[in-house]
Structure 1
Amino acid sequence: MRIALASDHAGYTLKEELKRMLRDLGHEVRDFGTHSADQVDYPDFIVPAAEAVASAQCDRGIIIGGSGNGEAIVANKVPGVRCTLCWESYTARVAREHNDANVLSLGARVIGVDIAREAVRTWLDASFEGGRHQVRLDKVRAVEERYTGPRMKKSEPAR
């Protein structure tokens, strides 16, 4: 799977840990930065990663900040992105199964490395259930299109 990875300075160390794990699991990782723990503005790194997912250059994205809140907010400004902030495996699993989340946001100051690893593995292994959840996603897409206009093509479920 092609995974976009990005963080701010607070998420840098966790990003590097997850990057190693993802590569060890056989995933292709595209690191959008930041590339140090020096203070940065998260939109500069999160938006390009979210755009890579929305344009299908990457299959999924993982973004990391101190709390993960700001990162999730800005990622969700990119049409076609469904980013959820998760803090353990249960929220990560239902983010995929019920919401077809294609970007996962993590708070490095909220969860430890081991919990983050497990949440990421769970999220990557989970599949969208469709059915009643697809009906809800169609309504979410309609809201997005009301404010941004129709997308070039209907988005496919995340892989």
Structure 2
Amino acid sequence: MRVGIATDHGGFALKEELVASLRAAGHDVTDFGAYALNPGDDYPDFVTPLAEAVVAGKVDRGVAICGSGVGASVCANKIHGIRAALIHDHFSAKQGVEDDHMNVLCMGGRTVGPAVAWDLVQTFLAAEYSDAERHLRRLSKVATLENS
């Protein structure tokens, strides 16, 4: 799978570990930065290009990280067509894709350890959207909100 990943300083170490794990698992990874640990950087500078790449189809799914994951989630969801969520548990990583067609997983580099993060990413990437009528109906309503 083509996976994009982005972070600011708050998730830099976690991003580096996830990039290595994703590549070792055979994924085609696009790293949107940060490329160095810089305490003065800002998550929108990295998360925005990631989200735009997901919408443009340049990557299949995205992983966005900041210190808590909240800012990355807020930022990603400002991009039309993104369905991002802050995820801390296995169930939500899977259900977010299956029911809500989540295309960007957000995590906190200061709140989720590397082993849990890797489990969440694997679960997110393995999940598939269900196309169930009720999910399509709900996403249509969300799209109406997004377009208004």
Coarse TM-score class (shorter-chain normalised)? over 0.9
Cα displacement string for residues 70-125 of structure 1 (whole angstroms, at most 9, x for unaligned residues): 11001000001110110121111111111110110011111111000001101111
CA distance, structure 1, for counterparts of residue 136 and residue 4 of structure 2: 24
Aligned-residue CA RMSD in angstroms?
0.8
TM-score, L = length of structure 1: 0.90
Q: Map of 1:3-82 to 2, 5 A cutoff?
A: 3-39=3-39, 40-82=41-83
CA distance, structure 1, for counterparts of residue 12 and residue 93 of structure 2: 20
Cα displacement string for residues 27-82 of structure 1 (whole angstroms, at most 9, x for unaligned residues): 11010100122121110010000000011111110011111001100100000111
Q: Point out the more displaced range, 75-84 or 130-139.
A: 130-139
Task: Give 3-state SS (helix, strand or coil) of 1:87's partner.
Answer: coil
- Check conservation: 1:88, 1:118, Cα contact below 8 A: no
Q: Structure 2 stretches of 5 or more lacking a match?
A: none
Aligned residue identity for 1:116: A
How many residue pairs are counted as aligned between the two chains? Answer: 146
- Check conservation: 1:88, 1:116, Cα contact below 8 A: no
Percent sequence identity over aligned pairs: 43
CA distance, structure 2, for counterparts of residue 42 and residue 119 of structure 1: 21
Q: Structure 1 stretches of 5 or more lacking a match?
A: 147-159
CA distance, structure 2, for counterparts of residue 81 and residue 93 of structure 1: 17
Name the structure 1 match of 2:137: 135
TM-score, L = length of structure 2: 0.96
Task: List structure 1 segments (4+ residues) > 6 angstroms apart after TM superposition.
Answer: none
CA distance, structure 1, for counterparts of residue 106 and residue 20 of structure 2: 18
